[in-house]
Structure 1
Amino acid sequence: MTKSPVPHSTPVCVPCRLAAIGAVVLALAGGFAYTAGWLTSARLTAPRLIDTFEKVAGKPHPGFRRNHAKGLCVSGYFDSNGDGAVLSHAAVFTVGRTPVTGRFAVPGGNPSAPDTSVPVRSMALLFQLNNGEQWRTGMNSTPVFAVHTPEQFYRQLLASQPDPATGKPDPAKIKAFYAANPETQPFRAWVQAHPPSSSLANAAYYGINAFRFTDATGTTRAVRWAMVPETPYAPITDAQKSAKNFLQADLDQRLQNGPLRWHLILTVAQPGDPTDDATLQWPDNRQHIDAGTLVLEQTSSQEDGACRDVNFDPTVLPAGISPSDDPLLAARSAAYALSYKRRTREEALHPELHRTQTSGDRS
């Protein structure tokens, strides 16, 4: 078993305006029964959430994901060292390589947004296990999320809708939301204290939600994970701050010199650590296990890359990993499914979307 430095010690985020922080929370959605619409019509539903995502985007972007619309595909493999098997009997933690299809993206529904429009980036991965199972995960470059409950998330979306007069979110509404929801403070404090990285390659990416890992003896523990880069962190440069599309170009250039690597760090909860609240970090002194290395070898356009048709539903899990009691998890699943249904239907009805969207902007 190998221990690793605490993953969130690597700086990966940035001070930002209230409007920019508001846009970050578009990376997730909240509450299974709520989003599925199985309780009452007054509850949140997946259509209600996705409709609001579309309003926040400002105008229709047919054929694109309703969030993380701008991104690029990546591919490579996960090289397990076997140490993760002490926590989970999932086949992905057996010593050896697992093929990976992935996607880097910028939060938000606008596929043409500048890379600096929000201070957070995302990494989504699909591990194709040799026993036919899959592990899908969507991670952000912050270790905590802005809100705790589905209701908070929906109110955050409403506060982030653009003002018709300016076409941008109203900072006063976002400020009022934060004032009414002190649970957002850990996220805001972390964002303000961590400048964004200069590259997708030197950022850490966090699973944020807790999951349950079950080992070969049937013992179950709560776990969070992060992908921690081998590439040394460097802050965004002044030139990059004024560039619109530097992230993909930078990644392509780095890959010309060889594969890029991240270590999968599993953090194990202790009794009393919250598993149902993504706004709270666990203490730094928790056990950390380096379970292996993610190796990314090449990029491809979202227009025709392997990630284009993947729904990175974080509840698609192999045996040995299961969702926790975090109410955001199943909501993400329901919202992602509806987003996938809408965009693929649009593509089927309008094949020209495949030809007219620019490389790097397709979803």
Structure 2
Amino acid sequence: MSERTPTPLAITAVDAIERVSGTYPGHRRVHARGLCFDATFTPSGEAASLTTAAHLQSARTPVVVRFSNSNTNPTVPDGIRAGRGLAVRFLLPDDTSTDLVSVNIPVFFAATPEQFLELLDALEKDPGTGAPDPKKVQAYTAAHPSAAAGLQEAARMPIPVSYGTARYWAIHAFVWVDPHGRRRPVRYRWEPDTGLQELSEEEAAGKNPEYLAEELLRRLVDGPVGFTLRVQLGQDGDPTDDPTKPWPADRPEIVAGRLQITAPVADQDHWAAQVYDPTRITPGIELSDDPVLSFRSHAYSVSYERRADGK
């Protein structure tokens, strides 16, 4: 269920998403189609000295994973260049949970919620062409140059062979708190055990509309599908308040643990209805000063209320 009170800005943003992408009653306003799976997370121990978060210590943690297509339209075929999501809910020993929400691009295309609204305005379809006006998008990137990298990444998103052969980034900075109260910014990335495997547009055109879910179900017959959680450790001066800006590639990384996906969940309706919220954190992890990160929770609340009401 939703945990945040929607803000006027969040309501305006979801209204804009509906204008750009349409409204599909009962569905999320983004990442409308997805499938949930049981999984386990086994920490490596490398993070234990950097954060007190329970799931990053030594014990294995049960997990529910939701893979999704980022489109608002739940019937859009998988075989196109589009965002893919990997939402992971860690079910902690004290009966609480924490979420790690990631997508298949490394950076976002707006530094603030207000910029995101500007982008949505630029993406509104021209009635005459049925497509966004390129001049409006160009004007947006000219006004916000740091957003260009995210838009370029979105334009060249790979078409994966499988949900299990894609790379996923959490895009925002978070803050780890160690046992002595010391804080350090971090960024998360999931790396597939298989390595990256992609389809050409010609290969993807021959696939079934929902081939990603179908493929993953077949793949799991042969055993678990795995990912490694890699964590980039920030240094002084690395931006934590702007999801459009990556950190330098030479920043150290650790392996925090491994995710193994085993089977579809038994209660698909229950887990599909959940809100996977990147601000649902646990002691040992804090939110950064990224305004888009905190905004997402409010926007999700708006989306949840509307789909729960069948709108």
* Structure 1 length-normalised TM: 0.79
Aligned pair count reads: 306
Equivalent residue in structure 1 for 2:218, among 253, 256, 259: 253
Structure 1 segment 1-363 matched on structure 2, within 5 A: 36-37=7-8, 45-58=9-22, 60-191=23-154, 195-237=158-200, 238-243=202-207, 244-299=209-264, 304-346=268-310
The CA RMSD measured in Å over matched residues stands at: 2.2
Q: Distance in 2 between matches of 1:248 and 1:334?
A: 29
1:281 deviates by 1.0
Native 8 Å contact 2:16 2:121 kept in 1: yes
In structure 2, the residue matched to 1:354 is none
TM-score, normalisation: structure 2? 0.91
Which structure has more strand as a fraction of its residues? 2
Q: Secondary structure at the match of 1:201?
A: helix
| 1:130 positional shift | 0.6
1:306 Cα offset (Å): 4.0
Residue type matched to 2:217 in 1?
Answer: D
SS in 2 for 1:102: strand
- AA matched with 2:176: F
Query: Is contact 1:199–1:247 with CA below 8 Å preserved after alignment?
Result: yes
Call closer, same or farther: CA 1:116–1:135 in 2, change over 3 Å.
same
Residue-by-residue CA offset, 1:294-326 (whole Å, 9 max, x unaligned): 11112359x934421211111110101010000
5+ unaligned residues in a row in structure 1: which ranges? 1-31, 38-44, 348-363
Structure 1 pair 305–293 and aligned structure 2 pair: CA distance change class (3 A): farther
When residues 339 and 189 of structure 1 are mapped into structure 2, their CA distance, relative to the original with a 3 A threshold, is closer
Question: Structure 1, residues 25-52: CA drift from partner, whole Å, max 9, x if none?
Answer: xxxxxxx99x724xxxxxxx22111111
Are the equivalent residues in 1 in contact too, given 2:51–2:284 (CA < 8 A)? yes
Q: One-letter code of the match for 1:131?
A: D
Query: Bigger shift: 273-282 or 166-175?
Result: 166-175
Whole-angstrom distance in 1 between the partners of 2:78 and 2:135: 24
